[in-house]
Chains A and B, each alone.
Chain A
Amino acid sequence: MKVLTANRLSDGIAVWYAAGGWAETVGHADIAYDKTAEDRLEAIGAAAAANNEVVDVNIIDVAIVDGLVEPVRLREKIRAAGPTIRTDLGKQASPQPARAA
């Protein structure tokens, strides 16, 4: 189970591909459940990088936790939330997105 992530070119903020665009939170990112879907995400990432929307494009492992997408690796968990030592900063500082239906 994988999603597409990158950093936005203009401000470097971590983003995830969701519903045809780049979301600032991971919770509702488009999930690739198989190789075909993964290839599709990779192609979208490559195109977005070539189009100068994002940089540092990566496909990462995720799981579904409480109905929301959550990265598996600690590195990606921290990217998705913010510094663990400053919970007033990063994504975790904003109200959480609504749960997936």
Chain B
Amino acid sequence: MYRYDEFDQDFVHARVAEFSDQVQRRLAGEITEDQFRPLRLMNGVYLQLHAYMLRIAVPYGTLNSRQLRMLAHIARKYDKGYGHFTTRQNIQFNWPALSDIPAILADLASVEMHAIQTSGNCIRNVTADHFAGAAADEVADPRPYAEILRQWSSVHPEFSYLPRKFKIAVTGAERDRAAIQTHDIGLHLKKNAAGELGFAVYVGGGQGRTPMVARKIRDFLPEAELLSYCTAILRVYNLYGRRDNKFKARIKILVHETGVEEITRQVEAEWQALKDAELKLPEADIQAINAYFAPPALVPRPEGDDVVKQARLDSKSFSEWLDQNVVTHRHPDYAAVTISLKGIGEVPGDATDSQMEAVADIAERYAFDELRVSHEQNLILPHVARADLKAVYDALVEIGLATANSNLISDIISCPGLDYCALATARSIPVAQEISRRFASLERQREIGELKLKISGCINACGHHHVGHIGILGVEKKGTELYQVTLGGSADENTSVGEIIGRGFSSEEITDAIEQIVDTYLGLRLNPDERFIDAYRRVGPAPFKEALYAGETKAA
């Protein structure tokens, strides 16, 4: 993985010193909250309902065990013994004292981490496929490009005060696991007919109160022009993006209001002045960054097949976990493992300090010291020898992280909601927990098959409800929580925004409603291979509306 060079380390240390001084001056009353707020936000410090919240960047979701151990240490020493992994591949701590934040940031800097640009109207943490570098279906590892974008966008003077926040995601595979079409810029790394690497470029995706699927504005951008082209997009956005209305300030609104053809023309015109110039990436620089992401030495471990075969016979639960949470690696002797942070009835994305330490131990021992955070709020071991899968599974069982539910209905994305968040209008975690408990039976979940259920506690959509096969949005209506259901969303290479199915449900009704939707799907699917999303796209909302609301219409 990427290692800080002298410049990076000096930069992060300088920022820690600068922000520590700002915190001290704030605590001493030398600067006001109005002066301090933008400074703390630039350093990832929010104020939530119960306390401050610190959001720490995990660049493109990649961590090593030393870093995860440091996060565990922070959870234990400065927080309340746990952290929350987010849909931005980051981690949040919910209880830090402002007075402790300088020490936390110094600890983070010691393991090459920080909280810079995890808030504010700047380019945020660049996200990537969590199986990058391991996936059997990728043309190249997207993370070197994410790292190039990180270096370019860190305190970029021109792009530090954009009309609104800006999110970039990169995938290196046709099958999009990074939800690139829901980002301000989505980059699909691919090869052209000549075998050269480049990007399909999407702009204007986003969720929030106005969900939009990104539009492709270029089918193939040579890799060397990554920064010149992104600069062109950001310049057009910075110039024309709406600063008059916070709710219309994202690039998705600009793309929508201007039209994709005109935006493309503007970007291309801007790019003409930038391409083949100083922003063109020298081949040597690309190679240098690529070298940091060189795959680990995956020695042949052909004994894996026999070990796995025997372990399957010995343990049904291992076999189920293998089927659900382990995916094919580009090396036949290896696999990529999803560590579910979605235990039945647990808080999606939460991990305790001791779980983090244990996972770090597993990664160090069995996974070449490499970990990922997925935007689906799970942890990933990208490179595990198949021969070691049983040992990894046994170690995960010991810490309660072996739930075999990856991509099933209980693998729920959920924002923190009104239990923590100052912006939330309803709770989302308790809804996730109740649905998870209702569908606790793994047999039943597997019968249902792949089903992406996503819950947000307000219209800002941090829980990605718009792109859930089933999405739930919590709102406040007449002083109580009400849950709206959307169906038909997805966040893959066929991204779509879900449609509101009808009137919302109370917190007492919502789990029954979800069960009714699932039962309706089971009753109408053509065969067990027809996933919920495929069935929904075939039949549309009518059968689901009928199942949920027919009684009401008749009664009326």
Contact = CB atoms under 8 A, between A and B. Distances in A.
Interface of A: 7, 9-14, 49, 51-52, 55-56, 72-75, 78-79, 82-86, 89-90
B435 interface: no
A7 B27 contact: no
B51 A74 contact: no
A10 B29 CA distance: 11
B49 interface: yes
B51 A11 contact: yes
B49 A79 contact: yes
Nearest to B100: A11
Nearest to B36: A55
30 contacts: A7-B47, A9-B26, A9-B27, A9-B33, A10-B98, A10-B99, A11-B98, A11-B99, A12-B47, A12-B50, A13-B50, A13-B51, A52-B29, A55-B33, A73-B479, A74-B476, A74-B479, A74-B480, A75-B418, A78-B49, A78-B419, A78-B427, A79-B50, A83-B50, A83-B429, A84-B427, A85-B427, A85-B429, A85-B430, A90-B50
B347 interface: yes
A43 to B, nearest CB: 18
Main secondary structure of the interface of A (DSSP, over half): loop
A11 B95 CA distance: 8
A74 B430 contact: no
Nearest to A51: B29
Interface in B327-375: 347
B420 interface: yes
Contact of A84 (B95, B98, B430): B430
A13 B48 CA distance: 9
Interface residues of B, number: 30
Interface of B: 26-27, 29, 32-33, 47-52, 80, 95-99, 347, 418-420, 424, 427, 429-430, 433, 476, 479-481
Contacts of A56: 47
Nearest to A72: B479
A13 to B, nearest CB: 6
B98 A12 contact: yes
A61 B329 CA distance: 57
A72 B479 CA distance: 9
A4 B95 CA distance: 22
Contacts of A52: 26-27, 29, 32-33
B419 A12 contact: no
B52 A12 contact: yes
Given A9-B26, A12-B51, A74 B97 contact: no
B97 A12 contact: yes
Contacts of A11: 51-52, 97-99
A52 B30 CA distance: 9
B97 A78 contact: no
